[in-house]
Amino acid sequence: MVTVNKLKKVTAVAIVALLATSITFISIIGISQIYGTNIFFDDDTEYDFKVVSEIANVTIRTDGAIDIEYWITFRAYLPIPIVDIGFPNHYYDLSSVQADLDGIPITDIRRSEYLMVGVEIHLGTNKIQSGATKTLHVKATNPIMVFRDDITPFTMASVDFSPTWFDSYICNSVDYLEVNIHFPKGFTDGYSVRYHYTEPTFYYNATNLIFNWNWTNAKSEQYNVGVSYPIQAAGVVLDSWLYWLFSPIQKVVFIVIIVIITIIALIGTYFIYRKYRKNAKQKYLKPSVKIECLGIKRGLTVPEAAILIGIRLDRVVSLIIFGLIRKGAIDVVTAKPLLLDKKEEPPELHPYEKNFLKDCLEGQKMTYRVKDSALKKFMVDFIKDVNKKMEGYSRKDTELYYKRIMNNAFEQIKQSGIKEFDEKTLSENFEWLLLDPDEKRMDKEFKGREVYVPYWYYHYHYYYIFRRPYPIYAGRMPRVPLRLNGFEFANNVVKNLETFSNSVVKNLSTFSNSVLNTIFPPASSSWGGGMRGSSSGGGGSCICACACACAGCACA
């Protein structure tokens, strides 16, 4: 039965998560309205191209809207069937969007399925073929773009703009990028204009003033430009949310509310991220299209099972280190930074453990460190070995098998009802307990029990020995096994395992992506395979793209 306290905890977490999600969503919407950023989604199409030139003309109208006109010249290395163009905010007028490719009208223009704010232009039979260079011309109107200036809201109007850009993974480079902002007709006082971000040049045509920005050999990323000009020349001017700051009564209230909401959002986001990071499941094994007729693959070690289940890579490395500690191959000198001491190599080591000791540790006695440069290759080889072992076996059934082993280990502890665990009972089950990414589960099961500390615990951390109330010196083992509160024991091991993870892998996302990209070379951008870049969207290739129907296939 769910207790009141549990309901309160669940409710509190839900409220924090809702607030964090809401603030994040509102922030994304707000930024996308100002800067034209977009969310990336996956697509099956592969893209590879460069932008020879991109010219954007922005004409400020007196009704609060802007007219946007692009000339984008692509050089395709793979065929380009669809181009996504981002807009500054979601008020853009779809009916106003017109496009042509080298003068040939393009009529299939839709709201983008891959951008939060933008359109997708389907080139159809006119798609840009591999090796071809063609220019896409796009025109559109985007309302609600002229706001009161943030600094001088009563005398100046403001317009910010970002030209559409493309994911750098699929767009090799932008040889030339140019943005021109055309002021309303009749306005010619360039010296009364304040530019935003980077300094432009300005010139005049027959009817108005033009500010120009240009870049050569530009990066395929977001560029921001903007201007503030006399409000008398603007016509319709909208009040932005920053206008609140200039109201004496609302200023303090507004700032306090923003600070409180931001703190709540950050706290909520932090705990959500930690929960996600601990429980996120990765796919490390290649999808199989073979008939898996051999059933369950037994005999995998805990780290190998962790790869199959999809445990975080830093945690897998920690499990390998833990196994070496348990077998007496290494001692932990300090957990942060992680310093190890090599011992005489025991005969029962697995091949991957021997490789780890040989290839991944550098230093000398008492100061061995995990070598970053070798760790990636080791993990790639380790995952490939697991993948090879699984050939012909049902991955789905095998994964369930090892999850049952883990759950059975917890169940044995739960049903035993004993208050003390001897060294043998603990050593037989403990590594399987560590396979569970939910560390609180172990704390819960060991709470209220005592543990006869196993021999490997002394190798696990010297400073544990120093905490005892009687004199024991580093390197000496107590003759009588020590007893320790079960909760303290489990918590100490789990927390230090997490410290190992953070010490070994400084940036989990970068490390995981590097390993996975080596095993599964991306056919296109990891963000996307379509012509999807920030203002232009995001596409991508799915690692598990097989469509087999065999029993136990691990594609899903």
Amino acid (one-letter) located at 96: S
Q: How confident is the model at residue 60 (pLDDT cuts 50, 70, 90)?
A: very high
User: Do strands 369-370 and 483-485 pair parallel, antiparallel, or not at all (unpaired)?
Assistant: unpaired
Mean pLDDT lowest among 42-46, 144-148, 378-382, 472-476: 472-476
Dihedral of the CA atoms 224, 230, 231, 232 (nearest 10)?
-140
Residues 230 and 328 in one domain: no
Q: How confident is the model at residue 481 (pLDDT cuts 50, 70, 90)?
A: very low
Distance CA 122, CA 168 (A): 21
Residues 229 and 338 in one domain: no
Q: Which range marks the domain in which residue 465 is found?
A: 302-514
Residues 245 and 316 in one domain: no
Structural domains of the chain, count: 2
Residue, of 239 and 453, whose pLDDT is higher: 239
Q: How confident is the model at residue 38 (pLDDT cuts 50, 70, 90)?
A: very low
Q: Is 60 helix (H, G, I), strand (E, B) or coil?
A: strand
User: Do strands 483-485 and 450-452 pair parallel, antiparallel, or not at all (unpaired)?
Assistant: antiparallel
List the CATH number of the domain containing 238.
2.60.40.1730
Residues 383 and 497 in one domain: yes
Residues 218 and 342 in one domain: no
Mean pLDDT of 256-263: 84
141 and 68 in contact (C-beta within 8 Å)?
yes
In this structure, is residue 461 part of a structural domain?
yes
**Considering the chain, what percentage of its residues have pLDDT values greater than 90?**
32
**pLDDT tens, residue by residue, 483-526:** 545 455 556 666 666 776 777 777 777 888 888 888 777 654 44
In this structure, is residue 249 part of a structural domain?
yes
In this structure, is residue 23 part of a structural domain?
no
Q: Which residue has the tokens 């600094």?
A: 151
Mean pLDDT lowest among 108-122, 331-345, 409-423: 409-423
Mean pLDDT lowest among 243-247, 360-364, 374-378: 243-247
Whether the per-residue pLDDT at 5 is higher than 80: the answer is no
In this structure, is residue 526 part of a structural domain?
no
Mean pLDDT of 44-61: 92
Residues 248 and 327 in one domain: no
pLDDT attached to residue 153: 85
Shortest CA distance to 332 belongs to which of 373, 371, 356, 367?
Answer: 367
Mean pLDDT of 244-268: 70
pLDDT attached to residue 463: 40
Q: How confident is the model at residue 143 (pLDDT cuts 50, 70, 90)?
A: very high
CA 269 vs. chain centroid, Å, equals 14
Residue, of 3 and 398, whose pLDDT is higher: 398
In this structure, is residue 16 part of a structural domain?
no
* Encoded tokens for 272: 């959500």
Mean pLDDT of 398-405: 90
Whether the per-residue pLDDT at 109 is higher than 70: the answer is yes
Q: How confident is the model at residue 423 (pLDDT cuts 50, 70, 90)?
A: low
Mean pLDDT of 374-397: 90
Q: Which residue has the tokens 């400073």?
A: 463
Residues 114 and 222 in one domain: yes
Distance CA 356, CA 375 (A): 8
In this structure, is residue 243 part of a structural domain?
yes
Whether the per-residue pLDDT at 199 is higher than 80: the answer is yes
Residues 386 and 510 in one domain: yes
Q: How confident is the model at residue 136 (pLDDT cuts 50, 70, 90)?
A: very high
Distance CA 34, CA 48 (A): 29
Whether the per-residue pLDDT at 161 is higher than 90: the answer is yes
Residues 309 and 445 in one domain: yes
pLDDT attached to residue 352: 93
pLDDT attached to residue 355: 92
Residues 237 and 358 in one domain: no
pLDDT attached to residue 123: 96
* Encoded tokens for 495: 């927390």
Q: How confident is the model at residue 311 (pLDDT cuts 50, 70, 90)?
A: confident
pLDDT attached to residue 195: 94
Q: How confident is the model at residue 280 (pLDDT cuts 50, 70, 90)?
A: low
* Encoded tokens for 94: 């779809």
Residues 153 and 88 in one domain: yes
* Encoded tokens for 282: 């990765």
